[in-house]
């Protein structure tokens, strides 16, 4: 009878194939989370944020902070699944399953709410993008994000049009009075790429919103400067 109990105790409760499949998947998940978090921390280090936390006027709009949070969550989930599978720890595996269930539930909820409140979400996204525009020159991460959205993703100039850039102190037309060269202009990411262009013209958006500048092309839903 004792020998039988010992044999049962030595039996693995988890399939060996399933165990190492979960382990391998979560090692990748774990390292991915660690890498994302490291990029966010590196971005904060480059901006010297740790030495001057007062610069974080709106932490929710800081891409580096979002990377740190997303990386930390991914790291914790991956670590839980990785160690739980390797050690066959039912507590960690249960926590891992709960984490995944919560993420799946949040995704489903976000999808349903996004369909129901799509107009409200569009309004919030518009307000968020315009808030990014206000701080365009204050944070290099936000600046790069806006340029990527305008130039690569939405191919737009502002979210409602080039006039959105009046919200930024450097691009506002009244800034010409204080000598801002970017006054009544837009960032270079608003400019339509020229054929065979090798080096991006960073000054292509200067003066394009002045009354005497008429070379503007109309795109569906957005305006982009030619």
CA distances in angstroms from 119 to 103, 126, 152, 205, listed in the order given:
24, 11, 24, 31
Q: What is the mean predicted confidence (pLDDT) over 157-164? A: 86
- Do residues 123 and 164 lie in contact, with contact meaning Cβ atoms separated by under 8 Å? no
Domain ranges of the chain: 2-116, 119-225
Distance between the two ends of the chain, CA-based, in angstroms?
85
What would the pLDDT profile of 64-80 be if each residue is shown by its tens digit? Answer: 788 888 889 888 888 88
- Confidence (pLDDT) at 33: 87
Q: Would you place residue 15 in the very low, low, confident or very high pLDDT band (cuts 50, 70, 90)? A: low
Burial of residue 90 (CB within 10 Å: 0-12, 13-18, 19+) is: exposed
| Angle between the N-to-C axes of helices 140-148 and 118-134, in degrees from 0 to 180, rounded to the nearest 10 | 130
Task: Report the predicted TM-score, pTM, of the whole model to 2 decimal places.
Answer: 0.61
What would the pLDDT profile of 202-216 be if each residue is shown by its tens digit? Answer: 888 888 888 776 554
């Amino acid at each position: 009878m004792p020998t039988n109990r010992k044999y049962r105790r030595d039996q693995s409760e988890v399939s060996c194939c399933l165990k190492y499949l979960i382990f391998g998947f979560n090692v990748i998940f774990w390292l991915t989370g660690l890498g994302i978090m490291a990029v966010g921390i590196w971005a904060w280090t480059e901006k010297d944020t740790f030495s001057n936390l007062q610069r974080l006027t709106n932490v929710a709009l800081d891409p580096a902070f979002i990377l740190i949070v997303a990386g930390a969550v991914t790291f914790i989930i991956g670590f839980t699944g990785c160690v739980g599978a390797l050690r066959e720890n039912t507590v960690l595996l249960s926590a891992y399953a709960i984490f995944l269930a919560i993420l799946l539930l949040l995704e489903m909820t976000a999808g349903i709410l996004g369909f129901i409140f799509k107009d409200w979400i569009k309004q919030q996204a518009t307000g968020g993008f315009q808030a990014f525009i206000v701080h365009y020159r204050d944070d290099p991460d936000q600046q790069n994000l806006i340029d990527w959205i305008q130039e690569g993703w939405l191919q737009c100039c502002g979210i409602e049009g080039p006039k959105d850039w009046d919200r930024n102190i450097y691009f506002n037309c009244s800034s010409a009075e204080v000598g801002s060269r970017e006054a009544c202009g837009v960032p270079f990411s608003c400019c339509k790429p020229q054929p065979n262009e090798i080096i991006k013209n960073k000054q292509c958006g200067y003066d394009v919103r002045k009354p005497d500048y008429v070379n503007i092309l109309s795109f569906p839903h957005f305006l982009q400067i030619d």
